[in-house]
Amino acid sequence: MDANHVFCGIVPPHMLDHLARSGSAAVADAARNALRMDAFHRERRLSAVAGAPPQPTVPGAGTPPDAAQRCAESVLRRTIGDAEHHQRLPGRVVRAEGQDAVSDEPVNRAYDGLGHTHRLYLDAFERDSIDDSGLALNATVHYSRHYDNAFWDGEQMVFGDGDGEVFNDFTISLDVIGHELTHGVTQYTANLDYSGQSGALNESMSDVFGSLVKQYALGQGAAEADWLIGEGLLTDQVQGVALRSMKAPGTAYDDDVLGKDPQPATMDDYVETTDDNGGVHINSGIPNHAFYLAATALGGNAWERAGRIWYDVLTGGKLATDADFASFAGLTAAAARARYGEGEEVQAVLDAWKQVGVPTGSEEGSAVVRQRSGTTAPTPTI
């Protein structure tokens, strides 16, 4: 499944399905509406025929020799539109690059979130916007009415206002903005298939760099960070703190209406399912936890070493579109050696994957993980 043609919303379908059966008519209606609109955007992306999909980029291919100079000349270009509770994109332009803040806080939060994401990639990884070629960053707020999601549609960010009972406005969480824009980075680089373990890696990459966007903006080290994805999105009526926890997968929420966080932290609890494209939002908890373990073992700022290793794998040209956890883990160990030599970085990476039950080297281990991934089951239809 080509990642360029897959709809990637921050709220996974299993959560919306649960809410659609809620006893609250307003919550159930909002969830069903979100599922309908998500299906519409999914079909729109699958049927898109205008232009060829972006091709994965490989460092050095078409890159000017002086990358530092290229990044120094990078120009941030943001435009925020207001859908005014309709379903039209990009909506009425309400704030453009360099303009002052407006009275509508979702507009300002979206504008700032795009900037924080651009800044992390530029400062930490010398990446010039999402496509590494200065792509303008655009977003639309107030999409539809009570829309319970936010997504990257292949060209821009789109934010719903939430239903007010379970979900707050989706611009509230900076890591959500970083998460969705990172789907764009993956789209332009490894282009990971959005199914099974490669799809879980796709989601995990967005969680990893979404968290790093927040940590970089707040100046937080790995030990200080909350490692939550979607912190602030859940209203005070919900028993939960976020959509996901990288530190402790499976503990983000446990609520009568929303259900219980189903994410596993290790391969012992890997979830076999044909729902959610083979559990891409569920089993992503395993590589998420591996990154958390590696980053906290190394200490300091997570974007400086652990983040650099993960970024090298994402953009290095060796990650197959259908990669499983074991092959990705092996590449992170190789990337750590290539950048840092045989030091604590390599050991931290190896230990992290060992703790979550993913092998990093042997073909036998990789085969075991493939077998557990459920790849012999019919490919989910989206």
Share of the chain above pLDDT 70, in %: 84
Could you tell me if residue 288 is inside a domain? yes
Q: What is the pLDDT of residue 378?
A: 31
Q: Write out the residue range of the structural domain in which residue 181 sits.
A: 3-372
**Which is the catalytic residue, given 41, 116, 281, 289?**
281
86 is catalytic: no
- For residue 260, the surrounding DSSP H or E stretch is strand 259-260
Q: How many residues does the chain have?
A: 382
Q: Flag whether pLDDT at 64 surpasses 80.
A: no
Structure tokens at 97: 């690059």
Could you tell me if residue 121 is inside a domain? yes
Could you tell me if residue 382 is inside a domain? no
Supply the pTM of this predicted model: 0.88
Q: Flag whether pLDDT at 135 surpasses 90.
A: yes
Q: Flag whether pLDDT at 35 surpasses 90.
A: no
**Span 153-182, mean pLDDT?**
95
Structure tokens at 342: 């045989």
Q: Is the dihedral of CA 15, 20, 23, 25 positive or negative?
A: positive
- For residue 245, the surrounding DSSP H or E stretch is strand 244-245
Lowest mean pLDDT among 160-169, 240-249, 372-381: 372-381
Smallest Cα–Cα separation from 325: which of 274, 268, 283, 381? Answer: 283
Could you tell me if residue 377 is inside a domain? no
**Which is the catalytic residue, given 41, 146, 179, 180?**
180
CATH number where 229 lies: 1.10.390.10
> Which of residues 14 and 106 earns the better pLDDT score?
106
Q: What is the pLDDT of residue 44?
A: 63
Could you tell me if residue 60 is inside a domain? yes
180 is catalytic: yes
Could you tell me if residue 113 is inside a domain? yes
Q: What CA–CA distances, in Å, run from 194 to 198, 231, 380, 382?
A: 6, 24, 10, 10
- As for how many domains the chain has, the answer is 1
Smallest Cα–Cα separation from 7: which of 29, 40, 36? Answer: 40
Q: What is the mean pLDDT of the chain?
A: 87
Sheet holding 137-141, edge to edge: 8-9, 150-152, 157-159, 137-141, 78-82, 92-96
Could you tell me if residue 193 is inside a domain? yes
Could you tell me if residue 139 is inside a domain? yes
Quick: pLDDT tens for 272-291: 999 888 999 999 999 999 99
